[in-house]
Amino acid sequence: MDILHLDPRKNKNNEQHFVFGIFFIFIAISIAIAAIISEIVSINKAPFYYYLIIWVGSFAITFISLFHDKLTLARSIKTRMENSIRWPKKAKVLNGVCWAGPFATIAIFPYLLPYLVLIGIGLGNVSTYVLLRIINRISNQEQLIVGLVSIAAIPIVYGVHLDLLVVKEDIAIILSRIFVSFAYALGGIYALRQKPNQ
């Protein structure tokens, strides 16, 4: 079917699936690059601020390259994110707690960092998917995939952590980063492979 004759709203939805597919893949790349460099730096017992520079720099460089001279891409992401701005206050609070709650808890339980990161990414993406589906009638299945994969990774990370704790203490942190990167890559690939009108 000729895409020019499709429902304009569906055409816009197809475009946003594609845009967020690219967006998620760039997130995955940023996390992967930062994780690799962080692991190399950790071998040399670098100061904490090195990690901050690495993570901020990785995302900054990746996203500058993504959005440079691509105003259409930036507008599409902005449009999709604006949907949540119009949510009722209770929905915003619920979504904010799902995203920020686990990350804020890291300050209290720093030894649970890898698991809380996975919970935050998981609950944040799943809650955003559910609220967009209920309130805006938008189905961003790529976001649901990211959330479910992150949550499903928790018992895997825990199991491997117990088995390899003697070999490498920070194995859980490394694995959590790998799974978050994998989750976003999988969600991005799924979005890019969406057929028109899905």
Residue 195 is classified by DSSP as: P
Give per-residue pLDDT as tens, 30-59.
999 999 999 888 888 888 888 999 999 999
Q: State the Cα–Cα distance between residues 191 and 135, nearest whole angstrom.
A: 21
Largest Cα–Cα separation, the chain: 61
Report the amino acid identity of residue 55. W
Q: Which segment of 46-60, 158-172, 176-190 scores lowest on mean pLDDT?
A: 158-172
For the whole model, what pTM was predicted? 0.85
| pLDDT, tens digit, 9 for 90 and up, residues 49-93 | 889 999 999 999 988 887 776 666 777 777 777 778 889 999 999
What b/e readout covers 146-165, taking b as 16+ CB neighbours within 10 angstroms?
A: bbbbbbebbeebeeebeeee
Nearest C-alpha neighbor of 25 from the set 193, 184, 195, 192: 184
Contact 73, 66 (CB under 8 A): yes
Cα dihedral sign, 10-13-19-24: negative
> 106 pLDDT exceeds 90?
yes
> Cα–Cα distance between 162 and 166 in angstroms, integer?
8
Q: What are the extents of the domains in the chain?
A: 3-192
What gap in Å lies between CA 75 and CA 192, rounded to an integer?
18
